[in-house]
Amino acid sequence: MSFAFAGALVLAAAWLWLPGGLIGYAVGLRRLALVALAPALTLAAIGCGTVVAPWLGLRWNWVSAIGAVLVATVIAWVVGALFKLDAPKTKRRWGNPPPGSLPPAGQSNRDGASRPAGGVEASQDGVSASIDVRALPRWSNRQWLGVISAGLGAGAFGLISSLVSLGRPDGFSQRWDTPFHGNLVRFIIETGQASPLQAGTLNAPDAATAYYPSGFHAIAALEPSWVGVWPAVNAVWVVGANLIWIVGLIYLARAIFPARPSYAVLAAIAGAAVQSAPASMTYLLPNSLAFAVLPALIGWTVQLARIVTRESTAWAGRLTVGAVGLVGACFAHPNALFSYVVLAWPLAGHIMKVLTVRLWRFGTLVWRALAVGLWVVAVGAAAAAAWALLGSAAVQSVVAYERGEASLGLIGAIATGLADATSFLLIAGIAPGLGVILGMVRILRTKQRRWLVASWAGAFGLYVAAATRWTWLAGVTGLWYHDRSRLGVVLGIATIPLAVAGYGWMWDLLRARRAAQTGQPSGIPEPAGPGEPARRLAQGAPRPVARTAPRPSRARALAGATLAVAAVAALVVAIIKPIRFAEGDYALVSDSQRPRYVNQAELDLIKRLPGELEPGKLVLGNPANGSVLIYSISGQPVVFTHVAGAWGKDRKYILDHFQELETNNQVCQTLNKLNVGYFYADPVIYRGMDQFDSLRLTEQVGPGLELVDQGGGARIYQITACV
């Protein structure tokens, strides 16, 4: 790895974290929540800035980006002043307190309000069985050190594996969508247009506006020019798919299992080991960033549900921050919204339930009418949004997309869904499935955190539907392009906390058994059943305090070190084959098993073009071969920037009639109108696609084409017939 690319990685991390960190601090975020949610807030500020900049006549660059962040910071400060993220010091109406919030008789709660005699006892409606309503306990410095060390180790492991797969800073995955992402970054740099309403015009040049999510590309375009297009793209992808992903999983584990820092360690390790992760999306780059910020948003939603359950205030500010973060994720890719709905719908239902119960318990007709109206408005708004979204032309084109993949069959889909969706090794595939089963058993036994099972079931069902090509769910799976690799990452997000719960349970049982044998305290907080914390507190019992484990002996320390080494070794073994498979995506050699755009000699040819071609003249070529990479690598504009697009009348005419170059005058007229000066010929095309067959060149070259350069089987000609 070169020093220049190391600098690009640092700059990518700075652009992804610092703007959102400033905005989050202004709104009131602190500690782990600030670090985890900062990238989503960055995407929101950058995305809004790209939309507003053209209206103000501004180009998209680092100056306009900083301006957008400063404006967003001021707005965040105002929001933080209006809506406190922490519970304010106000008294609560004790007539109908939320479940689990009553202090012991004669004592005061955290807000300074005392429980009066005869107060209503906490409701045993099972809400606390779904959401842990207790306040987040503070972790000790030693616990934080362990969690941070695990996060740094997992992040470093992910970075190294991605860099090994990448091979070189300017590498690119030779898969379907990859060339377009580099071309869009080049387009933003040259035109200053980064708005998602304009980004799609790269593939629809005759349209005034065309939507395409450009949050990922807008950040990559902020890298300095000396970095280069593909190193900038790779830097944003590597940082987002590994570091943001790991931090988000740690925060998610902190939100779900607040008293267990060891579970956060397990989540970090699982994030590095699981193969259905953003790092596996070597060519779906915007998706990878959108999915990487999702765990933090799910964790924030868990916190919101806890606040709504425990407090009657402080939820408005948290809801605002979560909504803004989700908007930011959608600026990276709208799949974030659909995936969030799949993962967080049980939490949304819980929040609605709590609010409805509170309104209903006021007892008057007006309040109960509001409770009913809350559901009517919520369901109506969701239905209207779904109707408008699913009926839009953009979504319909996505749903209608045909992948041409064979069905795995029901048994195969279930097996791959349980086995990490994209696992290559048997042990790596069995581990997540076994953890899910153990987690479900634990949840069914304790009747706590049941929403994890519901969330996983929704993601698993959609994955199976996509893998089996079920037509009756095609309208839903089509939102993910009917792609089981995309839905596999969504399933991975749901799998990790459930597997952590399962393996953490096994570890707790082993510790408890050893403690029983030795007579020493285990240091494990005692679990409570549904409503148990509220019941104990309402009866005046003191708050339970977790016992502290004794200082580990030398033998136990050695056993822990051995276990850590074994875990690292297992990670390395499990990831070797996926790394080699990903290396194949980036390889510049001919391989009959994988599609290719270019080989090494052809790539060298493309890099030579800036000194051989007239600047500004477009290169015509089959976008299923190396010509589609010319714009991103050399900066020479091309006629077709991607295999798929709405090309317009003139480009379609060239596509259909280019072989009539020497006999049809209209061909030359159209070429001159588009400012086309060169033709790129390569008989080897990506996956044998035939819709651009007219742009293949036979061995007999007519007098209208003059050879400029060649390499790796590809040739670049100047079109002299139209001069």
pLDDT in tens, 64-96: 999 999 999 999 999 888 877 765 444 444 334
- Name the residue with tokens 């007709």: 365
Identify the pLDDT of residue 250.
95
Spatial separation of the C-alpha atoms in residues 623 and 179, rounded to whole Å: 9
Identify the pLDDT of residue 119.
32
CB 584 within 8 A of CB 591: yes
Using alpha carbons, select from 639, 642, 643, 661 the residue that is nearest to residue 651.
639
- 255: buried, middle or exposed (CB in 10 Å: 19+, 13-18, 0-12)? buried
* Strands of the 618-621 sheet, one edge to the other: 618-621, 676-681, 714-719, 705-711
Contacts of 559 (CB under 8 A, 6+ apart): none
Report CA Rg, the chain: 28
Spatial separation of the C-alpha atoms in residues 678 and 697, rounded to whole Å: 13
In one-letter notation, the amino acid at residue 560 is: G
Identify the pLDDT of residue 282.
82
Q: What share of the chain is helix, strand, coil (3-state, %, to 5)?
A: 65, 5, 35
Identify the pLDDT of residue 384.
82
Using alpha carbons, select from 425, 159, 427, 145 the residue that is nearest to residue 272.
159
Helix axis angle for 315-332 and 62-82, nearest 10°, is 160
Task: Provide DSSP, 263-317.
Answer: HHHHHHHHHHH-SSSGGG-SS-HHHHHHHHTHHHHHHHHHHHHHHHHH-SSSHHH
Identify the pLDDT of residue 300.
92
CB 289 within 8 A of CB 282: no
Task: Provide DSSP, 6-39.
Answer: HHHHHHHHHHHHHHHHHHHHHHT--HHHHHHHHH
- 3-state SS class at 96: coil
- 3-state SS class at 546: coil
Spatial separation of the C-alpha atoms in residues 582 and 167, rounded to whole Å: 10
The partner residues of 558 in beta bridges, in order of sequence, read none
- ∠ Cα 78 81 87 (to 5°): 145
- 112: buried, middle or exposed (CB in 10 Å: 19+, 13-18, 0-12)? exposed
- Name the residue with tokens 């999306």: 281
Residues of the chain short of pLDDT 70, as ranges, are 1, 86-136, 310-314, 392-406, 419-430, 519-584, 589-595, 687-702
Identify the pLDDT of residue 104.
44
pTM (2 decimals)?
Answer: 0.84
Backbone angles phi, psi at 538, to 5 degrees: -65, -25
- 345: buried, middle or exposed (CB in 10 Å: 19+, 13-18, 0-12)? middle
Identify the pLDDT of residue 401.
66
Identify the pLDDT of residue 55.
93
HSE-CB for 98 with a 13 A CA cutoff: 24
204-235 burial: b if 16+ Cβ within 10 Å, else e:
bbeeeebbbbbbbbbbbbbbeeebbbbbbbbb
Spatial separation of the C-alpha atoms in residues 324 and 328, rounded to whole Å: 6
